[in-house]
Amino acid sequence: MTFDELFALLRRGTEHADEERVDLLDHSLQCAALLAERHPGDRELQIAGLVHDIGTILRPDDPAQHASTGAAAVAPLLGHRVARLVSWHADAKRYLVTTDAGYRKRLSARSIVTLEAQGGAMSETEVAALAAAPDLAALLELRRADDDAKVIGLAVPALDTWRPLLTGASTRVRGIR
């Protein structure tokens, strides 16, 4: 995937609903903007926020697999850490539902429906596995921003403002190889 292809895909988020009256492009831009506000020093987390639901655009017929589909698609361009955050963002919801008594109340009606398709609450073994995962704090921050990024009509920076940040991330990925 090239940057042009990635941005064309993100733009197609307007064809998909995240919530009623919040399309997937709005949701992605809100999620990235919230993470930029809350974690200005973590560019990869912001980028993960922007692309976390791209699997839904690639495979709208397979919502349960949207996290892994998106992660596989962005890994070559955006690197391992961004891909891992994308890959686990649905599991992070299952983790928080299981470990944080007040979390379920924050979920939208649609998120509760998809929670069941994604496996529902976690087993003790699954919780322990994710708790030991690297980057758990960032993953949970992505999830909380994801849950908050559903505001009808919120004004946030446009998609093209993210292009320099993403291009920089990719340059670093190629530099490491």
Residues that bind Fe ion (CB under 5 A): 53, 146
Give 71 or 173: the residue with its C-beta nearer to Fe ion: 71
Residue 105 beta carbon to Fe ion: minimum distance, rounded to whole angstroms: 18
Considering the complex, state which of residue 29 and residue 173 has its C-beta at the smaller distance from Fe ion: 29
Nearest approach in angstroms of CB 143 to Fe ion is 9
CA pair distance 82, 151, nearest whole angstrom: 24
CB of 150 to Fe ion, least distance (A): 8
Judged by beta carbon, residue 31 or residue 173, the one nearer Fe ion is 31
**What are φ and ψ of residue 159, in 5° steps?**
-55, -45
Minimum CB separation from Fe ion for residue 26, in Å? 11
Report the Cα 95 to chain-centroid distance in Å: 15
Query: CA-CA distance, 22 to 56, in Å (whole number)?
Result: 15
Residue with Cβ nearer Fe ion (93 or 173): 93
Residue 153, burial from CB neighbour count under 10 angstroms (0-12, 13-18, 19+) = exposed
